[in-house]
């Protein structure tokens, strides 16, 4: 009472005795709860449970539905016979030792019982009723309980991927023996994520950097908007000449009084670790990097936290070295310039295993791998026929995957061939797409659009791209491409787009249904960029994992 969370557990006679199936957040605080009898459920809508919530001013039905392809048929696996409403014996017979059980009845709308029982106040009348048997009444006097006895304007749908069903038992059941209605509710609703209770929290405002002026919020869709490592953040500015501000960042403090514990904490927008100078930034101009051309993409070297690679709209990639202690004056001379692309560059990615290796994609429809130790192009990958939306190295660094506007996924092994090793169908929509390797590098997760501009995520086996996606999940309709960030330790993917306020969380599994929904996070303001920091900055003593 007084809470606004409703939990659903499975109870089993063996360990674990209690397993949480799902939870929902209600609009108002609970003053009382009651479960609707099974005979009142809307079985033709596959409603398996309905709870009535009493709030301060309303009675709110909360409905649990099991999605099925057909809503025209009665699904006996979901609705085994339940206890009827007629008494099995009389009070005198029970005192005399009669142990008959109440007769079970079908929930099928066409086989519903029509008999009713009314208990009389006068003892003599009640005794006569027990001898003559229950009174038969017209079927119309019995509530048509196969329809909705209570209207349920809002329902809490269980995971749409749940297809497991209960096996109907034909044998008798008594005492504590298992009956179909006691079967696992989790089997009905489908599996749930171990990390479904992960909470996203914005850290206290005294850890934020505010008054950031002149930010460029129009970076291309292939760019994350800015980039960060465990020491510093690089932010493109709107000023002419492709200027980039670099802000120094320190590691997270231990025992931060504003951090909160819990079962898995995700600190989300505004959650940079303790900054060297948090709070409101001065109005005065800060030293910047003068890139010379508008920024198309930028990335920190994962092995050298002082080296920043910047791809410009002038088809060049410039490497900048940040001095120890940060920028004290404007940088105008890059450490190196990589030339070779003939059109504007889409995106750049450092190799996850080897130093001095960088890959880039461009409007000239080539993917080039650069040796930064020599400043020269090492390899040019062929095979693309349209705009390259995204590219990603596999976790072991052996393979490179791309997704393009021509609705094709391509997989390369650069050390063996400049042509794709595999090709497969990608997202249908031509508005944009992103990809990331998941599940130990055996699978590829792609975010994109369908032909009706619905945002969706698709899962592929990396060794079977021609077979198409294993699973497709539609999320919502919005104009921005979903940016996926994958945490390999928990196998959770975070998805959000520029201009969004919501961050979707899903646990990705190799087994069906492949996507297990976790708590999403909603921010008060739309975000213009979204970056995950290295795991080494997480406050593990607060169970923070991202």
Say which DSSP state 222 is in.
T
122-126, 178-182, 298-302 — most confident range: 298-302
How sure is the predictor about 14, in pLDDT bands with cuts at 50, 70 and 90? Answer: confident
How sure is the predictor about 177, in pLDDT bands with cuts at 50, 70 and 90? Answer: very low
Supply the pLDDT for residue 399.
97
Report whether pLDDT(133) > 80: no
For residues 323 and 335, what is the distance between their CA atoms, to the nearest angstrom?
Answer: 12
- 65-92 pLDDT, tens digit per residue, is 888 877 778 888 888 999 988 999 988 8
Say which DSSP state 198 is in.
-
Supply the pLDDT for residue 184.
55
SS3 441: helix
- 32, exposed or middle or buried, with CB in 10 Å at 0-12, 13-18, 19+? exposed
Supply the pLDDT for residue 15.
83
Select from 352, 345, 351, 339 the least CA-distant residue to 367.
345
Residues 308 and 299: beta-carbon distance below 8 Å: yes
Supply the pLDDT for residue 433.
95
Supply the pLDDT for residue 144.
40
* Bridge partners, 392 (sequence order): 401
Supply the pLDDT for residue 397.
96
Positive or negative CA dihedral for 413, 414, 420, 426?
Answer: positive
Supply the pLDDT for residue 145.
38
Mean pLDDT of 123-139: 48
Q: Tokens 């390999």 belong to which residue?
A: 488
Supply the pLDDT for residue 434.
95
Higher pLDDT, 414 or 38: 414
Supply the pLDDT for residue 167.
31
Residues belonging to the chain: 546
* Bridge partners, 425 (sequence order): 408
Higher pLDDT, 367 or 132: 367
Select from 139, 133, 87, 136 the least CA-distant residue to 111.
139
What would the two tokens of residue 289 be? Answer: 């990097």
How sure is the predictor about 185, in pLDDT bands with cuts at 50, 70 and 90? Answer: low
- Mean pLDDT score across all residues of the chain: 82
For residues 374 and 371, what is the distance between their CA atoms, to the nearest angstrom?
Answer: 6
Report whether pLDDT(161) > 80: no
Number of H helices, E strands in the chain: 3, 37
Supply the pLDDT for residue 158.
38
Give the start-end residues of each E strand in 225-366. Answer: 227-228, 232-236, 243-248, 265-267, 279-280, 288-290, 295-300, 307-312, 317-321, 336-338, 345-350, 357-362
- 103-130 pLDDT, tens digit per residue, is 999 999 888 888 888 887 655 544 554 5
- 234-281 pLDDT, tens digit per residue, is 999 988 888 999 988 754 444 333 333 334 555 544 444 444 567 788
Supply the pLDDT for residue 21.
81
Supply the pLDDT for residue 250.
59
Mean pLDDT of 428-434: 88
pTM: 0.65
Residues 82 and 105: beta-carbon distance below 8 Å: yes
Supply the pLDDT for residue 325.
84
How sure is the predictor about 205, in pLDDT bands with cuts at 50, 70 and 90? Answer: confident
Select from 182, 149, 146 the least CA-distant residue to 12.
182
How sure is the predictor about 188, in pLDDT bands with cuts at 50, 70 and 90? Answer: low
For residues 298 and 242, what is the distance between their CA atoms, to the nearest angstrom?
Answer: 11
Supply the pLDDT for residue 141.
40
């Amino acid at each position: 009472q007084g809470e606004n969370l409703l939990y659903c557990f499975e109870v089993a006679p063996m360990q674990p005795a209690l397993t949480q199936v799902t939870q929902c957040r209600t609009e108002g605080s609970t003053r009382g709860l009651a479960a609707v009898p099974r005979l009142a459920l809307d079985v033709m809508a596959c409603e398996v449970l309905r709870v009535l919530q009493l709030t301060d001013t309303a009675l709110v039905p909360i409905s649990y539905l099991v999605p099925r392809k057909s809503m025209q048929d009665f699904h006996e696996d979901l609705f085994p016979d339940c206890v009827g409403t007629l008494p099995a014996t009389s009070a005198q017979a029970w005192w005399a030792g009669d142990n008959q059980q109440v007769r079970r009845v079908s929930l099928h709308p066409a086989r519903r019982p029509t008999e009713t029982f009314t208990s009389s106040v006068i003892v003599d009348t009640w005794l006569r009723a027990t001898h003559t048997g229950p009174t038969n009444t017209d079927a119309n006097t019995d509530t048509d309980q196969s329809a909705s006895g209570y209207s349920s304007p809002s329902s809490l749908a269980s995971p749409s991927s749940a297809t497991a069903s209960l096996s109907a038992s034909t044998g008798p059941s008594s005492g504590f023996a298992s009956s179909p209605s006691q079967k696992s509710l989790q089997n009905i609703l489908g599996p749930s994520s171990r990390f479904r209770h992960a909470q996203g929290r914005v850290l206290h405002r005294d850890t934020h950097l505010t008054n950031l002026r002149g930010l460029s919020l129009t970076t291309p869709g292939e760019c994350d908007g800015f980039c960060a490592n465990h020491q510093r953040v690089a932010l493109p500015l709107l000023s002419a000449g492709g200027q980039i501000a670099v802000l120094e960042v320190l590691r997270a403090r231990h025992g931060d009084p504003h951090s909160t514990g819990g079962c898995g904490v995700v600190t989300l927008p505004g959650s940079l670790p303790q900054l060297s100078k948090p709070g409101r930034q001065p109005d005065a101009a800060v030293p910047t990097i003068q890139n010379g051309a508008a920024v198309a993409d930028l990335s920190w070297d994962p092995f050298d936290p002082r080296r920043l690679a910047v791809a410009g709209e002038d088809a060049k990639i410039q490497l900048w070295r940040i001095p120890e202690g940060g920028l004290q004056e404007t940088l105008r001379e890059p450490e190196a310039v990589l030339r070779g692309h003939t059109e504007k560059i889409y995106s750049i990615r450092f190799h996850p295993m080897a130093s001095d290796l960088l890959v880039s994609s461009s409007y000239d429809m080539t993917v080039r791998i650069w040796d930064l130790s020599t400043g020269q192009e090492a390899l040019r990958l062929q095979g693309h026929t349209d705009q390259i939306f995204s590219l990603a190295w596999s976790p072991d660094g052996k393979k490179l995957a791309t997704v393009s506007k021509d609705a094709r996924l391509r997989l390369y092994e650069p050390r063996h061939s400049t042509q794709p090793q595999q090709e497969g169908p990608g997202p249908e929509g031509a508005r944009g797409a992103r990809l990331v390797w998941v599940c130990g590098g055996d699978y590829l997760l792609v975010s994109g659009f369908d032909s009706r501009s619905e945002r969706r995520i698709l899962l592929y086996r990396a060794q079977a791209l021609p077979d198409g996606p294993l699973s497709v999940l539609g999320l919502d309709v919005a104009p921005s491409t979903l940016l996926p960030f994958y945490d390999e330790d928990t196998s959770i993917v975070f998805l959000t787009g520029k201009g969004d306020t919501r961050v979707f969380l899903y646990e990705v599994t190799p087994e069906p249904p492949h996507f297990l929904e976790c708590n999403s996070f909603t921010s008060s303001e739309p975000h213009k960029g979204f970056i995950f920091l290295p795991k080494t900055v997480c406050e593990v003593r607060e169970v923070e994992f991202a």
